[in-house]
Amino acid sequence: MSADKRLPVTEETRKELHELKEPGQTYDELLQELAQQRRRQDLEQRFQELEDADNDELTPLSDV
């Protein structure tokens, strides 16, 4: 795979990414992994918000 684009980052960000990168892992693979983790976190948060909303709006069967 050839590098098609450049992503400008600060030196501090580059160092942080370098520390997160596993030996043999490319920056592309690392960024894909980080993006996937973020999507999962966002999805978990949405599910939690829905669950919380359901708990606020629903009446327990024992109260009916």
pLDDT (0 to 100) of residue 3: 63
pLDDT (0 to 100) of residue 2: 66
Alpha-carbon separation of residue 38 from 10, 22, 53, 58, 59 (angstroms):
21, 18, 23, 30, 33
Is the pLDDT at 33 greater than 90? The verdict is yes
How confident is the model over 12-21, as pLDDT tens digits? Answer: 999 999 999 9
Is the pLDDT at 64 greater than 90? The verdict is no
